[in-house]
Amino acid sequence: KAGVTQTPRYLIKTRGQQVTLSCSPISGHRSVSWYQQTPGQGLQFLFEYFSETQRNKGNFPGRFSGRQFSNSRSEMNVSTLELGDSALYLCASGTEGSRSTEAFFGQGTRLTVV
Amino acid sequence: AQKVTQAQTEISVVEKEDVTLDCVYETRDTTYYLFWYKQPPSGELVFLIRRNSFDEQNEISGRYSWNFQKSTSSFNFTITASQVVDSAVYFCALSEAQTSYGKLTFGQGTILTVHP
């Protein structure tokens, strides 16, 4: 069974640009969550999607957005990139949004903003 | 609001020593799950264990064991006879029924280094 796949693995962007990250969940999983990991703030929840609907959102500015497609694949977008957006972005998928008790994580996308 | 605290930032041990990683949590919800994840240098978070708020039975799995105590809001993790391959960052996490099980609140992580 394939795991959670995140693309790309590494990304370098310039301040002011925008970026789109992709996450393909485990087959059959309908819940996808996104997290940002930085040395200073640790692992922080961005948002969760279930069946194409955003169920929860963390405390991030509106520059961070996401969506989920009918095949459960998810994308997150960051507009007007800032240096502080440099981080490891992790995606997790679960079996069901309200009852998922185990999140399977991908290897992440490491974003560097210069 | 929920909160997870891992007071130990870094732990260094010699191979074959036992090591305990501490985790204290805060939540107002009565139904919640606690997790431990391991993050090796590759970056992927590897699931180790899940425990729900109604099950305080402690668990042993090979060299790993977990001690869940609701009275002290703690969920500690012990590695017996540590090995070099155990070197990683370990995260304790909490999810609540009232928000969503899909939203995990993580502790700051404990960097474990096992020396040969």
pLDDT in tens, A39-87: 989 999 999 998 899 988 999 999 999 999 999 999 999 999 999 999 9
Q: Distance (Å, rounded) from C-alpha B23 to C-alpha B44?
A: 21
% of chain A residues with pLDDT over 70? 94
Strands A19-24 and A74-78: antiparallel
DSSP character at residue B71: G
Torsion angle of the four alpha carbons A66, A31, A45, B101, in this order, in degrees rounded to the nearest 10: 150
**pLDDT tier at B99, thresholds 50, 70, 90:** low
Q: Are A90 and A34 in contact (CB under 8 A)?
A: yes
Beta bridge partners of A92: A33, A105
Q: Which of B50, B100, B107 sits opposite A102 (nearest CB)?
A: B50
Given a cut of 80, whether residue B56 has pLDDT beyond it is no
pLDDT of residue A96: 63
Peptide bond into B41 cis (omega under 30): no
Q: What integer pLDDT is reported at residue B54 of this predicted model?
A: 84
pLDDT band per the 50, 70, 90 thresholds, residue A1:
low
A112 touches B: beta carbon within 8 Å? no
Selected residue of B9, B101, B105 to mutate for chain A interface (largest A Cβ count, 10 A): B101
Instruction: Answer whether A13's CB lies under 8 Å from A112's CB.
Output: yes
Pick from B99, B45, B89: which is nearest to A35 by CA? B45
Q: In this structure, which amino acid lies at residue A75?
A: E
Comparing C-alpha atoms, which of B6, B12, B28, B16 is closest to residue B92? B6
Residue A30 clears pLDDT 80, i.e. is over it: yes
Give the per-residue pLDDT at B100: 67
Kindly determine whether residue A100 and residue B101, on different chains, have CB atoms separated by under 8 Å.
yes
Average pLDDT over residues A7-14: 97
Q: Which residues in chain B have Cβ-Cβ distances shorter than 8 Å to A31?
A: 102
Residues in chain A: 114
Nearest CB to A88; choose among B43, B47, B50: B43
